[in-house]
Structure 1
């Protein structure tokens, strides 16, 4: 009899699907033999885990808690991303036109002198709307998936706890990326082609009319390529930093002020790590949106872009992006903690770091 409170069924399903996909993709000689078996297996596992998830739903977050995290996550992401739009404009120019733009400061002076101050805020509305939805879905669904995967049982080992948190973050980011992709496509087009449209309200219907849903979602694989490592690196590096600082004088007090100081410090560190490991995907996303909707999204396209621009150019704009992401995550953690306290979010998600607790089981402190 299936124990619906045991997360091993879900973890086994994920493992089998990943192994099947790797064999199917990288060993073509076995592809035809695995097609029917793999499809049947995937459908069965999806149905099984859907049933298990529905059974556990009553033990997951309440609707009021979900809405609190949805609002807090959306607001902190919206505020921080919108505040750094000018730096993001510079970063996008460095990525999409490296022959013309090579460094941050000269790019800033050129945009200000030739195109005006308002150009530094190009794509502001698309960024604000897109990242509000992205942050809202990312933070809230991380909590939902973590609760659903864990069920009523407490995670017993650090490895299983780490695995559950990793799976939950990947699934939550996948959901969130579907809301972000159209906004990001419009934003990149507005920044790389200022004459394309007057703004987001004008650009979204124009892009839909000219390229359809394929144009808005053609960069989805690259959004996932950027966002999943970003989210994963953000979680892990933040918790490692929090663990290292938990025994220092900075955390000797349990006051809210000290907690927010730790949030800012660890946010800076996690921003640097997340920016580095997600930079190739971010550059490819900018390039594929610049090329237009006629560029097929595939592994072959990935190789074409790498060959055309060179592996080293995947890290163009990294300096600007490290500065952007580090400052953004520091502010994001600060705002998120403050908003959670304001709306009365569950204390289990905002407890101060402790040297006696396992670092992995604290992964939900800020997400």
Structure 2
């Protein structure tokens, strides 16, 4: 934290690399930890290219994973808006197959891929930006002491913009998946929505998205960061500096799944409101919330836990894999500054 060896780096301490033996600067780094691999990083931490590649990792992690679970997401949305017909996960799949056939399970994949790719670009890319910039405003001691608050603030700021990018395609996706016979393709659904309600059709769900996604993302990033820290401290039998890249990716996956379970619970009520709101014309978030009631907003929670847990774990795994592939600097687990020690 607060290292002076890398410009703009208020999170990663790499000063120990200055005195790294020459024998570790060549092929012997293969299979060594990311903390040591910083020596062979292709891009400077915090540079424009670094941040753009982080955005690319976010696009791939969010776009691919959300598209892969479209069938489960479709059933979850239908359970939320029509619980009398779609009573459970298995029965929901059965009803969907009976009504729409196997192709029906993939309905909404195109807006899902486009929308969540854009969301991932802003979510992960801007998270790195805000995390660096907010840390620069703090001293080394405060950046470490308040690191959970830093993660929460950076992720909330990033998600605010990410939801604006996601909202149009999310609205199209939910309309296609939950309103029977409305439209089968993105090309048909988007113009139809615009002709019926104008531009408002694509952005009326922004506020509920913020209600759902900002708490979700705050939990996703802060819980992940602190879970990784706890795993290395209490569970992994050796220090992070002795773990291979594969072992660290395994820790990333486990921490991502744990974070995902908490994310699902925190964001589910707002997710239910978004699903119903985008299905109907002329409704407001407060109207939907009053109509659903306390019990109604928790419909489909188990399906969402399975979906979001797996989703979050895979997203972090893909995101970190992109960093490994492009040899981006990987900060080690935060350590207390020397002044605190």
Query: What's the TM-score once normalised by structure 1's chain length?
Result: 0.75
Work out whether residues 54 and 323 of structure 2, in 8 Å CA contact, stay in contact via their aligned partners in 1: yes
1:243-254 correspondence runs (5 A): 243-248=229-234, 250=236, 252=238, 253-254=242-243
Query: What is the SS of the residue equivalent to 1:246?
Result: helix
Alignment partners' CA distance in 2, 1:239 and 1:329: 13
1:179-194 correspondence runs (5 A): 179-194=165-180
Work out whether residues 151 and 222 of structure 2, in 8 Å CA contact, stay in contact via their aligned partners in 1: no
Distance 1:320 1:156, change over 3 A: same
Alignment partners' CA distance in 2, 1:101 and 1:211: 28
1:112-261 correspondence runs (5 A): 112-151=97-136, 154-157=139-142, 158-248=144-234, 250=236, 252=238, 253-261=242-250
Q: Which residue matches 1:305?
A: 288
1:321 aligns with 2:304: yes
Q: What is the total number of aligned residue pairs between the two structures? A: 292
Alignment partners' CA distance in 2, 1:116 and 1:196: 16
How far has the Cα of 1:67 moved from its partner? 1.3
Alignment partners' CA distance in 1, 2:150 and 2:70: 34
Instruction: Please list the CA deviations of residues 183-237 of structure 1 after superposition, one character each: whole Å capped at 9, or x if unmatched.
Output: 1000000000142112112212221222111110001110000000100111222
How far has the Cα of 1:150 moved from its partner? 2.8
Alignment partners' CA distance in 2, 1:165 and 1:335: 20
Alignment partners' CA distance in 2, 1:77 and 1:171: 18
Work out whether residues 60 and 147 of structure 1, in 8 Å CA contact, stay in contact via their aligned partners in 2: no
Q: Which residue matches 2:3?
A: none
Query: What's the TM-score once normalised by structure 2's chain length?
Result: 0.80
How far has the Cα of 1:101 moved from its partner? 1.2
Query: What is the SS of the residue equivalent to 1:310?
Result: helix
Greater helix percent: which structure? 1
1:271 aligns with 2:260: yes
Alignment partners' CA distance in 1, 2:50 and 2:74: 35
Q: Which runs of 5+ in 1 are unaligned?
A: 6-58, 359-367
Q: Which residue matches 1:346?
A: 329
Instruction: Identify which of 41, 46, 53 aligns with 1:61.
Output: 46
Instruction: Please list the CA deviations of residues 287-314 of structure 1 after superposition, one character each: whole Å capped at 9, or x if unmatched.
Output: 111121x224xxxx42x32332221110
Distance 1:229 1:153, change over 3 A: closer
Alignment partners' CA distance in 2, 1:166 and 1:159: 14
The Cα RMSD (Å) is: 2.2
Query: What is the SS of the residue equivalent to 1:156?
Result: helix
Choose 68-77 or 164-173, whichever is displaced more. Answer: 164-173
Q: Which residue matches 1:51?
A: none
1:84 aligns with 2:76: no
Alignment partners' CA distance in 1, 2:121 and 2:236: 30
Alignment partners' CA distance in 1, 2:138 and 2:254: 33
Q: Which residue matches 1:71?
A: 56
Distance 1:183 1:251, change over 3 A: farther
Distance 1:295 1:261, change over 3 A: same
Distance 1:259 1:313, change over 3 A: same
Distance 1:159 1:244, change over 3 A: closer
Work out whether residues 137 and 172 of structure 1, in 8 Å CA contact, stay in contact via their aligned partners in 2: yes
1:21-100 correspondence runs (5 A): 61-100=46-85
